[in-house]
A and B are shown apart, each in its own frame.
Chain A
Amino acid sequence: MKELPILHKQAITHTQLVRYAGASGDFNPIHTVVPVAKQAGLQDVIAHGMLVMGFAGQALTEWFPRQYLRSFQVRFSRMTYPGEQLSVSGQLVESMVRDGEERWLGELIVTNQTGEAKLKGTFEVWKGEPEGSENLPLIP
């Protein structure tokens, strides 16, 4: 198994959640309005799961060309609060062939500063043209 470089993100802020709400269009107030979050029984607003998956997506496109990504799936396991500092770790698990092309199957995990897992996921990426073959232009 090949370990991929860890992506360290800055601590999540309330402002970032407001910004992500506006960018994504997910205006569930549990992510931005503290009194609503408290009404829901939470200590504070919680980060959008899709923001945390967005961090993982950032890592994927730092690890591989965006064009090579074939599938990406995650399961959310814990809520994330402002102040938490997340990191994305990943590894290549096995080589496989699907839809007539060679791919890597990989795993990733997003954890906070104490090692608590926020999401776990898997992905498939094309391996790219074998070394030595003609360098074909990519037409995404």
Chain B
Amino acid sequence: MTKDLSKYVGYTFEPYAYRVEAGKIREFALAIGDDNPIYHDRDVAQQSGFRDIPLPPTFSTVIEMWAGPSFEHLIEVLELDPLRVLHGKQRYDYGSVICAGDEITACSRIVAAESKSRMNLFTLVTEYANQQGEQVLRAESVIIEMQERMRAKEGKG
């Protein structure tokens, strides 16, 4: 399954907004099994030096999936076979810590798309700014589409 990937490079999703809520942070931390009290007790968070309940290091996936390009949206835009899609790499660069109550605006774009080792690789970059317009986070994801059917013993996350 060879396809021309160059047309996807530069594709930019509609900018999106997300208000960070303490309850959603708690739900996310519980799903991971992370019982650090800074994620569910505002007093503990403030005693630890935060303005409010802080974002766990991988929480921004929630902002992307709920407010930006969801899995279904990515499948549609990149014309992917959902049964062959895996997550290859993920990177975060952190600025000031995002906390509950913050109004985040984000923009996601495809910065690279290439075929390699029977895989189609797409690199998605998302930049996040807070209500002061300060850049607070950058995320970079590599999404893999296997060109062949997946095998149970191989593959990625």
Contact = CB atoms under 8 A, between A and B. Distances in A.
20 contacts: A16-B33, A19-B30, A22-B31, A24-B31, A25-B64, A27-B72, A28-B82, A40-B150, A41-B150, A51-B31, A53-B157, A58-B32, A61-B57, A62-B36, A66-B54, A67-B97, A70-B94, A72-B91, A73-B89, A140-B54
Given A58-B32, A61-B36, A140-B49, A41 B149 contact: yes
Nearest to B148: A41
A137 B95 CA distance: 17
Nearest to A40: B83
Contact of A78 (B99, B140, B155): B155
A137 B57 contact: no
B84 interface: yes
B118 interface: no
A71 B157 contact: no
A82 interface: no
A10 B36 CA distance: 16
A67 B27 CA distance: 21
A54 to B, nearest CB: 4
Interface in B1-59: 24, 27-28, 30-34, 36, 38, 48-51, 54, 56-58
- Interface range on chain A (Cβ under 8 Å from partner): 35 or more
Of B36, B50, B92, B140, chain A has the most CB atoms within 10 Å of the CB of B92
- Interface range on chain B (Cβ under 8 Å from partner): 35 or more
Contacts of B150: 40-42
A6 to B, nearest CB: 15
Contacts of A52: 157
Interface string A27-57: 1111000001001111100111111111101
Given A20-B32, A71-B93, A74-B90, A27 B157 contact: no
A81 to B, nearest CB: 9
B155 A66 contact: no
Contact of A23 (B30, B48, B84): B30
Interface string B113-157: 000000000000000000000000000100000000111101111
B71 A27 contact: yes
Closest 7 A/B residue pairs (Cβ)? A49-B157, A25-B65, A76-B157, A138-B49, A49-B87, A57-B57, A73-B91
Contact of A75 (B72, B88, B99): B88
B91 A80 contact: no
Contact of B90 (A39, A50, A65, A69): A50
A109 interface: no
A55 B88 CA distance: 17
A78 to B, nearest CB: 7
